[in-house]
Structure 1
Amino acid sequence: MTGILTETRTVTVERELAHPPEKLWRALTQPHLIAEWLMNNDFAPVVGHRFSLRGEWGGVLDCEVLVVEPSKRLSYTWNHVHEDRAYNLTSVVTLTLTPTAKGTHLRMEQSGFLPEQKQAFHGARHGWQGFLAKLDTLVATLD
């Protein structure tokens, strides 16, 4: 018997940032900096580390670090359990940093949106634009 294959959708946001990958990496992996551009957290850049992201709306995301390649790639689960199961989200965020002549090409992918999760998908598309703009502003202030 074969399982039903469910097609998932991915939000992808790409930005060219005028900062070296090492500087961006700090903002992606240090908890006090992550809190400045994303959410309050107890993150550690260690594969298998479980952490929470706590949103201003009161929601909590349960996460686990999947990949840590310093100054190159970071990946973690991004899971939201909601009392209304229709709003549950099981996804993976992958941030890829590629050095460029002027800084870094940052690619953010959040994969795992089910077809019926249109509100979460569009919310993530909008939300990541804002998060990455805040990231760029924050990194510009770092030494």
Structure 2
Amino acid sequence: MTTASVTRSVIVERDIAHPPEKLWRALTQPHLISEWLMRNDDFQPVAGHAFRLNGDWGGVDCEVLTVEPGKVLTYRWDHPHEDPAFNLTSVVSFTLTPTATGTHLRMEQTGFRPEQKQAFGGARYGWEAHFTSLERVLAELE
């Protein structure tokens, strides 16, 4: 395996005290995604659908890859940047597993190259913060 083909992944897992159906709503409804992740106007949980996430630092072009309602959501995450250390094409996967007390949520973002230390660290920090916001959004949902 060459160094160029080695990538790293950010994995965040949490046990969330809400059922998978409620969590699925927060992962797939544009107004809820805007509350916990980033602003967007056009997300649809349909394989092949392109959408954009916008943050204060810029935006990410995405395409839905996999949809298994209530179970798995995967999308491509493209962050073009003139600095190769920040130019990132990755895949974000959410896996929901029912538990006795709610849902086990696993997020994996794959595709960080070895030289992307700052982007990798930012993603690790960012996803933890996003999950904290997600739990707040879920607590406020009916």
Q: TM-score, normalised by structure 1?
A: 0.95
Runs of 4+ residues over 3 Å off in structure 1: none
> Could you tell me which amino acid in structure 2 is paired with residue 45 of structure 1?
P
After superposition, residues 59-78 of structure 1 pair within 5 angstroms as 59-78=58-77
> Could you tell me which amino acid in structure 2 is paired with residue 7 of structure 1?
V
Structure 1 residues 43-95: Cα deviation after superposition (integer angstroms, max 9, x where no partner): 110000000000122x1101000001111000001110012233200100000
Structure 1 residues 6-61: Cα deviation after superposition (integer angstroms, max 9, x where no partner): 1100000000000000000000000000000000112110000000000122x110
Aligned to 2:107: 108
Aligned to 2:44: 44
Among all aligned residue pairs of Structure 1 and Structure 2, give the percentage whose two residues are the same amino acid: 66
Aligned to 2:19: 20
CA distance in structure 1 between the partners assigned to 2:3 and 2:96 by the alignment: 34
Equivalent position SS for 2:138: helix
- Per mean C-alpha deviation after superposition, the further-off stretch among 80-89 and 94-103 is 80-89
CA distance in structure 1 between the partners assigned to 2:16 and 2:22 by the alignment: 11
CA drift at 1:4: 7.3
CA distance in structure 2 between the partners assigned to 1:126 and 1:8 by the alignment: 18
Matched, 1:86 2:85: yes
Residue 10 and residue 69 in structure 1: after superposition, are their counterparts in 2 closer, same or farther (change >3 A)?
A: same
> Could you tell me which amino acid in structure 1 is paired with residue 83 of structure 2?
D
| 8 Å CA contact 2:7, 2:111 repeated in 1 | yes
Equivalent position SS for 2:85: helix
Q: How many residues align?
A: 141
Equivalent position SS for 2:108: strand
Aligned to 1:53: 53
RMSD: 1.4
